[in-house]
Structure 1
Amino acid sequence: MFFKNYIPIIFLWLAITAGVAAYEFDHAERVFAMENEEETANISAFLIPEDKKEITQDQASLSNLLIPDEKIVSETISEEKNLPQVLIYHTHTTEAFRMTAESEYQETSEWRTNDENFSVVALGKLLTEEMEKYGFAVTHDRTDHEPPKLSSSYERSLLTMEKRSEENPALSLFIDLHRDAANIETAQDDFVVIDGKECARIMFVVGKGEKYEDKPDFAKNYALAQAICEELEKICPGFTRPIREKTGRYNQHAGEICLLVEVGHNANTLQQAKNAIPYLAEAIKKVFDGENSLFG
């Protein structure tokens, strides 16, 4: 009788207790879900930002690190190392070398070919690759400037320099890559041997622009050529031929710093010329990256 009087009270207490427990569990679950949702949203915003979402500087830096743009990375390295951005081009685009069994090509005229695999264009491609290894940002222009007349090639290569400079105003080092002409009968032994490899010798041409009102910066261009020669001579005495000073300007007025470099000549083989290229890139890097560099 006594117990029956308390049954309603017991059931009421059990109901209240169960309700409180259910509320606390539901509340805890919702709090956890909200916290988890906020954390997930933060992670999502950090890793996959929406187009219109504001991105913090740290997020942008990490994004660039994880998904780099090759061109941006190349230019950034060049800027961080205080290296110039470079244009490599060829005024005499079809200049080629003495043929061997390994390097036969179809001549367009004597010692010339339109096949880029055997002309100075192949050297430009290799120099681009070697300089990029050192952190230079390099553009290699393969335009054939010779047609319609070889004698007016410099007029057309000037247009290329101007066009490329307009596209990228940061360009400051212009390299016109050639091969020289020599007596095929007497100059076939004109090379040096470095690490067991025959390497074509290198020469620079620096223009004064004596007949022009708009003259090159002869002193600066000559100083750069001389500095590179000194580095090449450290690698191997006799690697360079004397710098050739000319009264013309060879478009060297059109850029901040300009080099006309002759890698070997027509009596050299393509392989001898190619073997010289990594050392040329190394010398250029040392000149611009030196502690006392006038150009870095």
Structure 2
Amino acid sequence: MLRKTKKVISLLCALIFILPTLSYSMDKEEFLKFLIESSYPESSTKDDNSKEEKDKEDKTANKEEDYIKVHIGEENIPTLNSNSNNKENISVASSEYKNDIRITKENPTMLIYHSHSGETYSDSPEGNYHSQNNRDKSVLEVGTLLTEQLSKKGWGIVHSTKYHDYPDFTKSYISSLETVKSMLNNHKSINIAIDLHRDGRDLKTDADIQKEHERMSTTYKGEKVAKFFFVVGMKNPNVDEVKALAEDITKFAQSKYPELVLPIVKRQYGKFNQYMAQNHMLIEIGSNGTSSDEAKASVKYVAEILDEYFKQNR
């Protein structure tokens, strides 16, 4: 009996020392798995432009001043957070996300995704406003809220929370293109796609932050809210349709909430994958000069605009 007791004690002691090591190894393995999965697309790109053209497009897409000036220079490229544990950090319906996807209804008609999934707001400045740690203060959380709001209005939504800007930020649009193609292939009913971002400026001082906050926020009905706008990539083969849609929705938004919507921004250098869906939009809600709460406060207005516009123009 004494011998068996000693064996049990020895086994328990061994487990006490082994389990932390095993746990640590599992964390590393999961991290490596993330890097591998983030580096490979979900579907083929043979029917699109050549890889060289897409690489060129994606690399030049970050050279325009102001729009994403925050990324210019090696010191401003976001770094991968190796201690990230982001799987359970989405506060809106997190249990409904499986493999970074939520589908709210059969035969969904709308896709929401994020080419720059790591974009965060002024209340999460780490990594030059890019992080995987603070999902609740990022465009991903704004996307989950927009998904929830539109779902309550009867829309079937596919929301992807996959990180397309990690581990290689320069290939964000190449990565998100694979997600769009995969979602459209799996859900033929989708005819509306939204690439949801926040605007980005080079904020070096408190004065810069204050100036940007004033530009991209306002007080509406006693609440601080972020402004929003649409971006058009002028290199799209269907640029006339993309531009017409952005202008039409902006006009509709201005008729309802002129204080909240800014004029569309046209980018001569890019496509932003806007040729992929029948109705494809790039929406910027707030910026790195506004807080995540201000961006979330805008979502109910953006959802109302999208809901009413597309129900009227089906």
Measured against aligned partners, the alpha-carbon deviations of 1:124-169 in whole angstroms (never above 9, x if no partner) come to 0000011112211101000001122211110000000011111111
Residue 124 (structure 2) pairs with residue 110 (structure 1): no
Partner of 1:133: 152
Instruction: Verify the 8 A CA contact 1:75 1:136 in the aligned structure 2.
Output: no
User: Secondary structure at the residue paired with 1:249?
Assistant: coil
Partner of 1:164: 183
Instruction: Verify the 8 A CA contact 1:216 1:252 in the aligned structure 2.
Output: no
2: CA distance, partners of 1:234 / 1:126: 24
Mark the runs of 5 or more structure 1 residues left unpaired by the alignment. 1-70, 79-84, 100-104, 210-214
Residue 229 (structure 2) pairs with residue 203 (structure 1): yes
What is the root-mean-square deviation of aligned Cα atoms in Å? 2.1
2: CA distance, partners of 1:216 / 1:175: 18
The more displaced of 85-94 and 226-235 is: 226-235
User: Secondary structure at the residue paired with 1:110?
Assistant: helix
2:194 alignment partner, one of 169, 175, 186:
175
Residue 220 (structure 2) pairs with residue 187 (structure 1): no
User: Secondary structure at the residue paired with 2:254?
Assistant: helix
**How far did residue 263 of structure 1 move?**
0.3
Measured against aligned partners, the alpha-carbon deviations of 1:227-260 in whole angstroms (never above 9, x if no partner) come to 2222322333231121111121011112221100
1:148-163 to 2 correspondences below 5 Å: 148-163=167-182
Instruction: Verify the 8 A CA contact 1:174 1:255 in the aligned structure 2.
Output: yes
1: CA distance, partners of 2:186 / 2:152: 23
Residue 276 (structure 2) pairs with residue 276 (structure 1): no
Partner of 2:308: 286
2: CA distance, partners of 1:74 / 1:246: 34
Q: TM-score, normalised by structure 2?
A: 0.61
Instruction: Verify the 8 A CA contact 1:194 1:236 in the aligned structure 2.
Output: no
Instruction: Verify the 8 A CA contact 1:208 1:246 in the aligned structure 2.
Output: yes
**How far did residue 106 of structure 1 move?**
7.8
1:253 alignment partner, one of 275, 281, 289:
275
1: CA distance, partners of 2:234 / 2:125: 36
**How far did residue 73 of structure 1 move?**
9.2
Instruction: Verify the 8 A CA contact 1:146 1:152 in the aligned structure 2.
Output: yes
1: CA distance, partners of 2:307 / 2:300: 11
User: Secondary structure at the residue paired with 1:254?
Assistant: coil
Partner of 2:59: none
Instruction: Verify the 8 A CA contact 1:207 1:216 in the aligned structure 2.
Output: no
Partner of 1:89: 113
Once the two structures are aligned, what percentage of the paired residues are identical? 29
Instruction: Verify the 8 A CA contact 2:103 2:159 in the aligned structure 1.
Output: no
2: CA distance, partners of 1:208 / 1:217: 9
Partner of 1:228: 249
Measured against aligned partners, the alpha-carbon deviations of 1:63-118 in whole angstroms (never above 9, x if no partner) come to xxxxxxxx999447x7xxxxxx011000000101111xxxxx583x1111212211
1: CA distance, partners of 2:243 / 2:275: 13
Mark the runs of 5 or more structure 2 residues left unpaired by the alignment. 1-101, 202-207
Instruction: Verify the 8 A CA contact 1:88 1:177 in the aligned structure 2.
Output: yes
Instruction: Verify the 8 A CA contact 2:119 2:139 in the aligned structure 1.
Output: yes
